[in-house]
Chains A and B, each alone.
Chain A
Amino acid sequence: MYAILSAMDLGVIFAMMAIGVYVSFRILDFPDLTVDGSFVTGGAVTTMMIVGGFNPFLATLAGLFAGFIAGCLTGILHTKGKINPLLSGILMMTALYSINLKIMDQSATVSVANEETILTSIRNAWEALGLDDLLNSFFTMLGFGDDLPETWSVLFVIGALALMMKGLCDWFLRTEIGLALRATGDNKRMISSLSANTDWLTILGLGLSNAFVALSGAIFAQYNVTADIGMGIGMIIVGLASVIIGEALFGTKSIARTTLAVFLGAIVYRIMITFALKIDIFDPGDLKLITAVIVIGALVIPKVVDRQKEKVRKTKRRKAAIAALQRKDDDVASTKLGL
């Protein structure tokens, strides 16, 4: 119970990152590796500002904005510099490593252990409401009494924030600019013949995507009470895993449905990882390997299943055709006999 709940805490935090990855990977059709860097940038800017005495909410917002800038730079590399999408992301990610170290004053970690963060403020406000007691007594009643989390505030408040960001994303993708952004990923030639500047839209889209990622990083760093220079490694794959798992499990009927699927996908992914790591044969260090395997599986298995289904269908149809032919022959034979 406790393990699942902390997995869900992480899930809602990473959900915002996953929605960011969805915007670049699916909407813009741009596999953007900036994510590994901008996730840390968000955390680094926010923790440094908190340590520097800024309001934690302002600091988190600044982290988000830093991610936006990083994404825009990747977009500029691609559109104005004509660099291939993957390479633009890799270049930006590499550059961001040094930039993040600069932001963090050349130290590999920044701690906010004794500072007020948005999570401590939320927790204080939450506890003042007395909701934890209510929820705890409910779960004690259900028999989970000795396995309760320290606070429910992360799950509920950050969960609500993540859903709000999802709603914001849905709304944006329905505006005139949002529609043009989606078309940029879907049919670039068409939307530029409809007077949309696809360069500008790509830059904006990558900016927004990385703003989501950096917000996620900013909150993750506060949740862990440390920003770590290495905390972004493999983040793009985590995002992809959430997008793919979510889409497969919850469907992609409309934009709002898909972003919800991605949100839930991030939570499911976290729970999967938690269970995988509970199995004794895995070390905590295997996390990235497991993630990669999950993504590979999610990408390959549906294709294999489809091919298999197609094969079965074809054999069936051929058999039916042969049977029909035979029946015809029989008919002909019997008519001949009748004569």
Chain B
Amino acid sequence: MLQLSSVYKVFNEGTADEKVSLQHINLTVEAGDFVTIIGSNGAGKSTLMNIISGVLFPDEGEVMIGGKKVTTLPEYKRSKMIGRVFQDPMAGTAPSMTIEENLAMAYARNRKRSLRNGLTKANRTFFKEALSSLHLGLEDRFKAKVGLLSGGERQALSLLMASFTKPDLLLLDEHTAALDPSRAALITSLTKEIVHANGLTTLMVTHNMQQAIDLGNRLIMMDKGQIIVEVKEEEKKTLTVEGLLQLFQRIKGEQLVNDRAILS
């Protein structure tokens, strides 16, 4: 479904701030895979997401989605195939528009927008049904402006908007990191449910090792712009946080001082 071959990205090239963010990354994701991505700050996780979604273009290498070369396809064209949830709960929804209008915009994702009414009766019924799958009672607040919702509710709505058109690829960029623990747990379980129900090919960046182990069928760990650990389906089932840390230490030969703090 997704194929990255030798993707290389450098920022501020030729200056004192030069930083190689991705060092010739190769990654193949099959249809139906749910890959969790972990790594410390500056490992290149977000850059990877931005290159897959088309916000950034790689300096070298190629990106293929569904067998089609999309390396330099702009974001607005590529996002017909890609659903995305951002870390910031404010980023994925339009605050001054209503819940139904937000859903209508997401619904129009994979077709050409026209002068058709964005909110027909049939659409509304479908939206209500989809909303009720979140179990948050949002279907009763259909005409409320999204700016009035809490961060958790907005993130749940973003998740629905990113996924309910069944995109080829779902990108989750630390989408539970900005929420309090109970809300984060809710979004995590919704994620599991939605990805499973629709069989979506998913990439999820997270800072939380336990979450990375619990979700998905594959796990990759990034460090300094490289994929340093790849754990496949069978192996992943028996993986623990301790095991993951040991794996990292063995490969890098360095102490994970910072990452221990995240476990707590």
Report A's interface with B, CB cutoff 8 A: 172, 174-180, 182-183, 186-187, 189-198
Contact = CB atoms under 8 A, between A and B. Distances in A.
A149 B118 CA distance: 44
Contacts of A175: 114-118
Contacts of A179: 97, 101, 104-105, 108, 118
Interface in B74-127: 74-80, 82, 84, 86, 90-97, 101, 104-106, 108-110, 113-119
A176 B94 CA distance: 15
A191 B93 CA distance: 8
B53 interface: yes
Given A175-B114, A176-B113, A192 B95 contact: no
Contact of A195 (B79, B93, B95): B79
B204 interface: no
Contact of A194 (B105, B117, B118): B105
Nearest to B84: A193
Nearest to B112: A176
Contacts of B86: 189, 193
B70 to A, nearest CB: 13
B97 A180 contact: no
A194 B79 contact: yes
B116 A194 contact: no
Nearest to A27: B96
Listed from nearest, the 5 A-B pairs whose CB atoms lie closest are A176-B113, A186-B94, A195-B79, A187-B94, A179-B118
B132 to A, nearest CB: 22
B184 to A, nearest CB: 21
Contact of B97 (A172, A176, A183): A183
Contacts of A197: 74, 76
Contacts of A172: 115
A248 to B, nearest CB: 17
Interface of B: 53, 74-80, 82, 84, 86, 90-97, 101, 104-106, 108-110, 113-119, 161
A187 B92 CA distance: 8
Given A174-B118, A186-B96, A186-B97, A193 B79 contact: yes
B119 A195 contact: no
Nearest to B110: A195
Given A176-B113, A179-B105, A196-B76, A190 B92 contact: yes
Contacts of B108: 176, 179-180, 194
B53 to A, nearest CB: 7
Contact of B118 (A178, A189, A192): A178
A180 B117 contact: no
Contacts of A186: 94-97
A192 B113 CA distance: 13
27 contacts: A172-B115, A174-B117, A174-B118, A175-B117, A176-B114, A176-B116, A177-B114, A179-B105, A179-B108, A180-B108, A182-B94, A183-B94, A186-B94, A186-B95, A187-B94, A189-B91, A190-B94, A191-B105, A193-B75, A193-B82, A193-B84, A193-B92, A194-B106, A194-B108, A195-B76, A195-B77, A197-B74
Contact of B94 (A177, A191, A195, A198): A191
Given A180-B105, A180-B108, A194-B105, A187 B113 contact: no
A191 B105 CA distance: 8
A180 B114 CA distance: 10
Nearest to A199: B76
A175 B96 CA distance: 17
Contact of B80 (A183, A187, A195): A195
B122 to A, nearest CB: 14
Contacts of B93: 187, 190
B95 A187 contact: yes
Contact of A192 (B75, B114, B115): B75
B95 A180 contact: no
A196 B94 CA distance: 14
A161 B145 CA distance: 31
Given A195-B76, A198-B76, 5 more contacts: A177-B115, A192-B75, A194-B79, A195-B80, A195-B109
A77 to B, nearest CB: 20
Scoring A178, A189, A193, A197 by chain B CB atoms within 10 A of each residue's CB, the highest score goes to A193
Nearest to A175: B115
Contacts of B82: 193
A172 B104 CA distance: 15
Contacts of A193: 53, 75, 79, 82, 84, 86, 92
B47 to A, nearest CB: 16
Contacts of B161: 194
A176 B112 CA distance: 9
Nearest to A176: B113
A190 B83 CA distance: 11
Nearest to B161: A194
A179 B78 CA distance: 20
Contacts of B110: 195
Contacts of B116: 175-176
Given A183-B97, A186-B95, A191-B105, A176 B76 contact: no
A192 B76 contact: yes
B142 to A, nearest CB: 13
Scoring A179, A183, A191, A197 by chain B CB atoms within 10 A of each residue's CB, the highest score goes to A179
